[in-house]
Structure formats: structure tokens, C-alpha cells
Structure 1
Amino acid sequence: MSIYRDAKYADVAPAEKLRLFNEVKADFRWHHVLYGCYECGICTASCPSARFYDFSPRVFAQIMAREDIDSFYELLNDVMWSCSQCFSCTRCPRHNSPGGIITIMREVAVNNGLDSAKEALKAYSRIIYKVMSTGTQVAPDMLQPDFFPDWGPDVKRVSENLDVWRRAIPPDTLHTTELAWDVSDKTRLQLYMIFKLTGNLEMIENIDEGIYMILEEVMESLMDEKDLDIDDFENILEGEEEAEH
């Protein structure tokens, strides 16, 4: 039974919860992030997210050590997305890393295409597209509270003063970063290949198939222009280096 009174996932089959729990434990990093909890609270005391959310890194160490699959599933779907991944919690005297536990859990949630992961990461689809297609990430008009609710009051202040930013930033760069930072095609292709070879593109597909298809189309078009083969990473790099010389 979950430790949460308002547990949302009581109807999820125990076998499914156990499957996902075992997938977390099967990660090669697992034995380096959890050694046993003293319940001293140092991790929570050092956690910036704990100051603003109903969030405690210590809970992750305790629940995972107890193998409480019901509470684990609550953490997997909701609580863990409040973590800022700063890893302040690694000052644990027992050498636990609640942030490391959460990293693994997030990857499991993404790889399994959980609806909660899709919802939590929805605002970042456009950032992924900007990074992959232009080599950088945020244009001024993207800074809206609805896009980044976890940024707190800062993003609200920015969005309320966009007219100031518009006067400070050249108009051509307002809606895109392409003109603000001219990234070479080689850099874009390298970034794409890193995402592809490390499996990150598959993770993106699990979360947002639409943005995945757009990225594939953009990069395939770029490689067609360069007469490059998507399956031959070394040739892509060598071809770009020769073009530079």
C-alpha cells in the first residue's frame, strides 16, 4: 500500500509496478546510488526543490530501500519531476545519491513512454527542436509561465517585460536563435549523431513522436544537401572536415 493518502495509481497492476521497479534496479548505476538510509535528513536539508515543493530526497532512498513498489510508482509518476537534478543530496554521509536514483527513474519513465513523463516534459519539445536544428535553445518569446511552470516567479517577470527584451534584442533574433548564433552544419550533425548513437532520439520518440519525426526530417534533409550517409558517422565527420579545408 502506498504511503500517500491521495494515491492516484491504486488501480495499476502490481505486476506492472514491479516490472518498472526491477527495471530501475537493473540499471548498471543502481549499486552506486543507494547504500542504505540513516534517515538523517541531510539530503532534504540541502535540497533547493524541498524549499518550494512537497518534495523530499530522503523519501526516495527510504522507499527504494524498502522496495515499496506502490509508493515507488507514485514517485515515478509525479513526485520525481520536482527534482532539479542539482545533486546537492550527494552530501549524504551514507553516500546515497537520491538525485542519481531519480535520474535512473526518469530514464525508465521516458523509455516506457509513461503518460506522466510525456506531460512533465511537454514544455521541452520546442527546446529539443531548437537545440537540434539550430544548436542553441531558448528564444525570448519562449519564456512563458505555461512553458516553464517549474521556473517559478522569474519566468513570470521575464514574460511580463518582453517589450523590454524586444527593445534590447535585435528584432531578427526575437523568434529564433539562428541569426543570433550562427551554428555550423558540422556542429548540428555532430549533435544529431550524438543523440542518435546514445539512444536519446529513441527516448524523444517515446515522449513526443511528432517532434521526433520533425527532427528526423530536418536532419535527413541536411544530410541530403551534404551528400552524407546517416549510417556512417565517421564519413560525416571526415566529409565536414575536408569541406572546411
Structure 2
Amino acid sequence: MVALFAVVSVTPDEAPLASWGYRGDAFQVWSGAAWVLLASAFIHQHLWHLAVNVYWLWTLGRAVEAAFGPLTMGLLLLTSAFVSSAFQLAIFDEVGVGASGMTFAVFAFGWLARGRRTELRSIFTTTIGVVFASWFVGCWIVLTRLVANGAHLGGLLFGALVAEAVVMGRRPRLAKAGAIVLLLLALGVSVACPWSATWWATKAYGAHARGQYDLAIGAYDVSLRLRPDQPWVMASLIRAYRAAGKANAAASVLARLRTVSPEEAARVDEEGGKTIE
């Protein structure tokens, strides 16, 4: 993570980094790059963000690794990175960056595991519990859209389920089933997310590019019903209507676009009947 942060900091051109999830978005994931959900967890945009996550992963992770071994720790980090990123995508329709989802997974795992593994109690103290509880609740209340709260939630739930499944043994079958369900849901979200405006827009854009204008129009409509204020989706819908020979429908959407984004409407006006490339 430190090396990736150094690359991000000194590289003026963001294009090569985008393929690794830097400032990746939902459109990128649903266009076939589902692995961005994993890669983005290892990228940080700010030094303070990197420092916080590295500190907690080092402090808590060393204790977990010493108790359960590097294989368990490695698997926990990789799976929680994917699951937490998928939670962020499913809840907020965006891909976050950073390892905070993994951090919460390691915390939840260690916090529950300390009930059986007494060597963890010196690290996973009540003070640490208060810090993480305050961090979690405070971010949801004060910084709702400024931090990856969905990733925090996903990591917390996944880490707790894994601890119940492999350490605590109180309801191992139920906990294993829960962890597997979360993994399957994460995989599912990386492919399809029908409650997401961006997912529908991505499907529409793909159909549009293939010349399937009726399919594109239908998907653009669903996207706009889910989130009306998307200028680029409205502009693409206008282009799809024009390409399908539906001038009146295109004019109707253009009138709506003028109220949302006059600049985008002006660009579409200049294009005339041009379709997307």
C-alpha cells in the first residue's frame, strides 16, 4: 500500500493508474473490471488516509497473524477487501479507495476471537473497541458521503462472521453460511445490481454502443427513474432516440436536460444526430 501511494503521489498521468482502481467507478466495475473492487482497497489518495489504515492493520494485524498464522490473515485481508468494496458499491453506487474495510474486518475478527484466544486481549482492549465504535458511528452520522461507510459496514460484518465460523464455534454452521452468503452477494453485485442507477446506465451504454437502441433506451429510462439528475445519461438517451429515428422523444428529453444542465444540452444540440462512439 505504501508503494502504491508513492506511485499515486508522483505520477502526473492518472490514466495508467485508473486500470488499477485509482478513482475507479461503478461504471468501470460493471463494464467488466470486477477485480477493481479488490485492487481499489490497496490504493490511498491521501497520506493521512494511508497512515491511519497502515497503523491499525499493523497494530491489530500483527496480533491476529501471530495467533492464527499468515495464511488465515492473508485470506481474511483479501476476502474482506473484496466484500467491503462490494458493500460500498451496493449501498452508495460508487467504488471507494482505501483499506478501511479490511481494517474493520480485522478489528471485528480479533475483537470476537479474543473471547477464545486470550493472547489477543492485550491488543483488542476496551479502549480499542470504543475507538472503532466511535469511528464507525461518527462516520455514518457526520461524514456520511465523505468516507466509505459501506465498506466499513461490510468489513465489520464479514470479519465478525469469519470469527464466529472459525474461532468461536458457537454457531459455526450459521456463521459459515453467513460469510459464504456475503461473498456470493459481493460477487453478484460485481456483475449485476438492478437497484443501481449506474448499473442500468452501464448496461444502456453497452447496448447503445452495439447499436441496440431500443434496449439502450429502456435501460437509460430505468436509470433516470432511479436517479433523475444524471446529465450524461440524459444526453446519451437523446442520442439513442435520435439514432432510433425518434426525434420527438429526443426533443422531449432535451427540454428536460436544458433545466438540469444547460451546458450538456448545448453540446447535444451541436451534435445533432451524432451517436456515441
Same fold (TM over 0.5): no
More helix by share: 2
TM-score w.r.t. the length of structure 1 is: 0.28
Larger radius of gyration: 2
